[in-house]
Structure 1
Amino acid sequence: MKAAPPKATFAICGVTLLSFALLSATDRFADAAVLGGFIPARLSGLAVPYALPVWLTPLSATLLHGGLLHLGFNLLMLYFCGRDDEVALGRPGVVLLYVLGAYGAAAAHYAVGPHSTSPMVGASGAISALVGAYAILYGQRRPSKFSPEVARWLHIARLAAAWIAVQLMLGLVSRTQGLAIAWAAHVGGFLVGLIIARPLLRWRYRKA
């Protein structure tokens, strides 16, 4: 049976791309980063006039990208992992995974720099949750000398290392635009995906 089109994944990609196009056309990224990016110090009382409520910024930050390279790679991974996650978890499941990944990423970013005044932007943390879920749901398919469970976790570790390494390389490029990689956010999002993928899968098929 042919799988339904991944409409939720398409929608997230579309909204993210539209946001980038609008900000590029108006050249207001710097302002948007301050007003809509996640700034850890705001949780300790830092005032940012006209900014979105701080509890909303982990989500609004996912719509802000500083360059085409960052945006393009994120959209590629979002589509690649999101479409398969959506097959397994359904549309509500993949949306919930993405949202929780965004908040998990923000929490991890706050944990390593609670007084930082630099805005965290980009969807990498939320997408990391999709990558983590993909790893746990689709696991190790190749023959291995290890037991299936050990092989699965080795596969997860390799995927996590590759994802974080690529994001670090993108972060080095982003520094030319005055941005820095939020590595802890990627780890936090990935862990969210690992932890909640199977519960979401069981919830979807709870009546099966």
Structure 2
Amino acid sequence: MKTAPPRMTMTLGAVIAASFLLIAALGKTDVATVIGGFIPARFSGLIVVGGLPVWLTPLSSALLHANALHLGFNLLMLGYCGREDEVALGAPGVIVLFVIGAYAASAAQYIAGPHSTMPVIGASGAISAFVGAYSILYGQRKPSRFSPAAARWLHILWLAAAWVAVQLLLGFASATQGIAIAAAAHIGGFIAGLLLARPLLRWRYRKA
């Protein structure tokens, strides 16, 4: 059966790409990073920076990218996982994943370093929620001796543990090379996707 095109996923990708291209064309990447980036220390009240309201920066930071490579990798992951998530969850589900994923990613980054003054930018935290949802919706579970509910939660915990381990390794490896990767944001977004996938699926087909 032919499925509808993933219009919401494509729209999100287009908005993210257009934001990067416009800011880069104006030569305002550094300024936009300070104005719209997520800065944990702003939430802690340690610094005052002019820019967007602090509560909005988890979303605005997802529209900012350091360079074309940063943007391209995130769009690749969004396109791969997002289109399949949209088939299962519909356009509203995609929006919920992106928004809650962005806030969950920022919350995790804040918990990891509430005093950090380094702006966090990029859609990878929000897109990690798409990866988490994809893992739940399309991943194959091995037969289990536990009840379906227990097996489902064990599966979620296993995926979360594996993702945390990968992100911590990436964070350590990147730090040794002087590259900053928001590993905590990736973890927060991924866990949000794991937890949201089934409820969003049930919500979409609640009247079926």
Name the TM-score class by shorter chain.
Answer: 0.7 to 0.9
Whether 1:181 aligns to 2:181 is: yes
Structure-2 separation of matches of 1:107 and 1:53: 16
Partner of 1:164: 167
Distance 1:75 1:157, change over 3 A: same
Structure-1 separation of matches of 2:94 and 2:124: 15
Shift of 1:26: 1.4
Q: Which amino acid aligns with 2:48?
A: A
Alignment of 1:11-30 (within 5 A): 11-30=11-30
Structure-2 separation of matches of 1:83 and 1:175: 34
Partner of 2:4: 4
Partner of 1:199: 199
The unaligned stretches of length 5 or more in structure 2 are 146-150
Structure-2 separation of matches of 1:161 and 1:139: 17
SS at match of 1:5: coil
TM-score, normalised via structure 1 length:
0.86
The unaligned stretches of length 5 or more in structure 1 are none
SS at match of 2:110: helix
Shift of 1:68: 1.5
Structure-1 separation of matches of 2:177 and 2:7: 30
Distance 1:203 1:173, change over 3 A: farther
Distance 1:48 1:158, change over 3 A: closer
Partner of 2:53: 53
Alignment of 1:71-110 (within 5 A): 71-110=71-110
TM-score, normalised via structure 2 length:
0.86
Cα shift readout 1:21-40 (whole Å, capped 9, x = no counterpart): 11211121111000000011
Contact kept, 8 Å, 1:139 with 1:156, in 2: the verdict is no
Question: RMSD of the alignment, in Å?
Answer: 2.6
Structure-2 separation of matches of 1:44 and 1:105: 17
Contact kept, 8 Å, 1:64 with 1:122, in 2: the verdict is yes
Cα shift readout 1:63-112 (whole Å, capped 9, x = no counterpart): 11101211111100000000000000000011111110000000000001
Distance 1:9 1:188, change over 3 A: same
Partner of 2:119: 119
